[in-house]
């Protein structure tokens, strides 16, 4: 059991380091965007970004996830290659069809979204971006399945480094604005495909497509498409409806706050998903799997609350720092604690929903997320006209709370796990209280250095209080003391990283 905890921790840390580098690149780009884009332009960019995510989810059919589920339990190497080949054939087919339809309809989309066909270049570049993103997802999930986490993050770091350089060139020097940003994404994704094409060939060499298994994979992945679409609607409706019921300026401000809080998603949730899922698929039938999943849930929830608290505490300072030339963005810090709590709930939703994946009852994932998405849309229509960006933020929180309840109920029937409820309640009560306190400190007056110091003290004290009040058992305390001795010396940081990798 201990080796499994270490394996999850190892891959999660490696993915976190890679994701941190990409998030740092994103933070570097914030001053570039806020200096060269108006809040309206930033709103347009946000709409295009979420449109790309929605298209990637729909067109990709979630086949890469199905591939992982089948390859993880397959023992014969020949059969594994057949599954991978079948997946690539299907993905390439849908990409060709999608690209043809998208390029043919680009003027219509430009007129629909922006009121003029001259913006068709946005959708031409978007098509290239999405097409390579879909293909790359299969390759990257294959790398995850092989547990080659270091290679994975090197690819991602290379991709985002190239996007950073191209953004600076296109936006700062060529003055291409939103068009330059989309072009950078298209080129970055194309670069990943070119680098990994040899790996793709090796993974399918000598294989024959297995269409019988592919049909079973399609049955598994199809509900996940609807689930993913509903998730996208749930997470993106706020910005679309802010555009409809408000202004692009509100979309831009809200999107900046969402991006700051999104560090939790990129650094913690996505890193955990990347490291945990391949391991979970391989062990969910083991007798000690359920206690392992229960303990992992408590650890994840703790890390999510600590991270949410840290980000919320200093969001005001970060936003002022990165948008110092445009004060119109500064108000975005007020929604960061709300959105941060949303990501805590999203991490819990991910854990609870996995039980349905294990037993291949993914249709319930689609039902639950769709119901929550509809609920979210209704709340947005009610709350946005009343409270603007805050209405959108609270609607998202409410919808995710509903999903937590529904996923827990349904997943417990399909794959029951005895979660550590008392510890989870302690984390929710203490975490929400700490988030409220740092929010009130920021809202109580103008910026001053003592507020920053006070918030820093709260962030430091929070986990120490948990430690002092007996939240952790003796074995966990011993491990934490050992980890502190190991990592407290900055000079040994590189050596410790080498041991992990």
CA distance 94 to 57: 12
Question: Which phi-psi region, left, alpha or beta, contains residue 46 (left: φ > 0; alpha: ψ -120 to 50)?
Answer: alpha
Residue with the bigger pLDDT between 360 and 12: it is 360
Q: What is the rounded average pLDDT for all residues in the chain?
A: 81
Report whether pLDDT(375) > 90.
yes
pLDDT at 397 over 70: yes
Residue 476: the pLDDT is: 72
Residue 4: pLDDT over 60: no
Distance between CA atoms of 195 and 388, rounded to whole angstroms?
44
Stretch 92-113: mean pLDDT: 84
Q: So what's the pLDDT on residue 465?
A: 84
CA–CA gap between residue 332 and residue 197 (Å, rounded): 41
Local confidence band at 344 (pLDDT 50, 70, 90 cut-offs): very high
- What pLDDT, on the 0 to 100 scale, is given for residue 491? 58
pLDDT of res. 494: 54
Instruction: State how far the Cα of 336 lies from the Cα of 344, in Å rounded to an integer.
Output: 12
pLDDT band for 68, please (50, 70, 90 cuts): confident
**What is the mean pLDDT of the segment spanning 80-99?**
87
pLDDT at 110: 77
Greatest extent of the chain over all pairs of C-alpha atoms, in Å: 67
According to the model, what pLDDT value does residue 309 have? 93
Where does the pLDDT of residue 63 fall: very low under 50, low under 70, confident under 90, or very high at 90 and above? confident
Q: Which of 140-154, 331-345, 415-429 has the lowest mean pLDDT?
A: 140-154
Output the pLDDT for position 469: 76
28: pLDDT strictly greater than 70:
no
**Domain limits, the chain:** 2-470
Tens-digit pLDDT profile for residues 171-208: 888 888 888 888 998 999 999 999 999 888 888 888 78
pLDDT, tens digit, 9 for 90 and up, residues 218-234: 777 777 777 777 777 77
Candidates 181, 187, 219, 209; CA nearest to 89 is 209
* pLDDT value of residue 112: 74
Q: What is the mean pLDDT of residues 413-438?
A: 90
Extract the tokens encoding 140. 């990257």
Lowest average pLDDT, out of 123-127, 262-266, 339-343, goes to 262-266
Question: pLDDT category, 444, cuts 50, 70, 90?
Answer: low
* Rounded Cα gap, residues 91 and 89, in angstroms: 6
> Rounded to an integer, what distance in angstroms lies between the CA atom of residue 177 and that of residue 404?
39
Q: What whole-number distance in Å separates Cα of residue 66 and Cα of residue 74?
A: 13
């Amino acid at each position: 059991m201990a080796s499994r905890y270490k394996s999850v921790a190892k891959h999660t840390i490696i993915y976190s380091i890679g994701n941190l580098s990409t998030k740092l690149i994103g933070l570097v780009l914030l001053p570039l965007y806020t200096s060269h884009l108006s809040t309206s332009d930033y709103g347009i960019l946000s709409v295009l970004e979420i449109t790309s995510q929605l298209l990637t989810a729909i067109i990709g059919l979630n086949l890469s996830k199905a591939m992982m589920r089948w390859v993880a339990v397959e023992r014969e190497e020949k059969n594994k290659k057949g599954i991978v080949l079948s997946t690539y054939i299907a993905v390439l087919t849908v990409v060709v069809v999608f690209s043809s339809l998208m390029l043919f309809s680009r003027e219509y989309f430009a007129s629909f979204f922006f009121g003029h066909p001259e913006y068709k270049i946005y959708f031409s570049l978007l098509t290239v971006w999405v097409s390579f993103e879909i293909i790359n997802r299969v390759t990257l999930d294959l790398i995850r399945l092989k547990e080659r986490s270091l290679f994975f993050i090197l690819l991602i770091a290379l991709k985002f480094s190239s996007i950073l350089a191209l953004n600076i060139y296109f936006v700062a020097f060529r003055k291409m604005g939103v068009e330059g940003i989309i072009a950078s994404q298209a080129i970055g994704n194309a670069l990943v495909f070119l680098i990994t094409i040899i790996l793709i060939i090796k993974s399918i060499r000598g294989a024959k497509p297995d269409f019988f298994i592919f049909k079973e994979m399609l049955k598994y992945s199809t509900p996940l498409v609807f689930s993913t679409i509903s998730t996208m609607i749930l997470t993106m409706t706020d910005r679309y409806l802010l555009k409809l019921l408000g202004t692009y300026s509100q979309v831009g401000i809200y999107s900046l706050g969402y991006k700051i809080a999104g560090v939790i998603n990129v650094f913690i949730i996505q890193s955990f998903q990347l490291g945990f899922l391949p391991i979970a698929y391989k062990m969910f039938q083991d007798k000690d799997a359920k206690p392992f999943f229960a303990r992992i849930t408590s650890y994840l929830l703790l890390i999510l609350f600590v991270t949410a608290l840290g980000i919320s505490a200093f969001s005001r300072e970060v936003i002022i720092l990165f948008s110092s030339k445009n004060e119109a963005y500064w108000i975005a810090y007020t929604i960061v604690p709300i959105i941060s709590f949303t990501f805590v709930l999203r991490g819990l939703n991910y854990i609870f929903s996995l039980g349905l994946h294990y037993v291949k009852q993914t249709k319930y994932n689609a039902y639950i997320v769709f119901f929550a998405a509809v609920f979210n849309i209704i709340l947005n229509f009610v709350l946005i006209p009343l409270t603007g960006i805050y209405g959108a933020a609270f609607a998202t929180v409410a919808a995710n709370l509903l999903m937590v309840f529904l996923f827990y109920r349904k997943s417990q029937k399909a794959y029951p796990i005895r979660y550590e409820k008392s510890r989870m309640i302690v984390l929710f009560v203490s975490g929400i209280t700490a988030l409220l306190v740092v929010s009130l400190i920021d809202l109580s007056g103008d910026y001053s250095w003592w507020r920053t110091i006070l918030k820093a003290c709260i962030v430091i004290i929070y986990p120490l209080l948990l430690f002092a009040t007996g939240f952790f058992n003796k074995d966990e305390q011993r491990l934490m003391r050992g980890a502190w001795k190991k990592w407290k010396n900055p000079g040994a940081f590189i050596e410790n990283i080498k041991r992990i990798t």
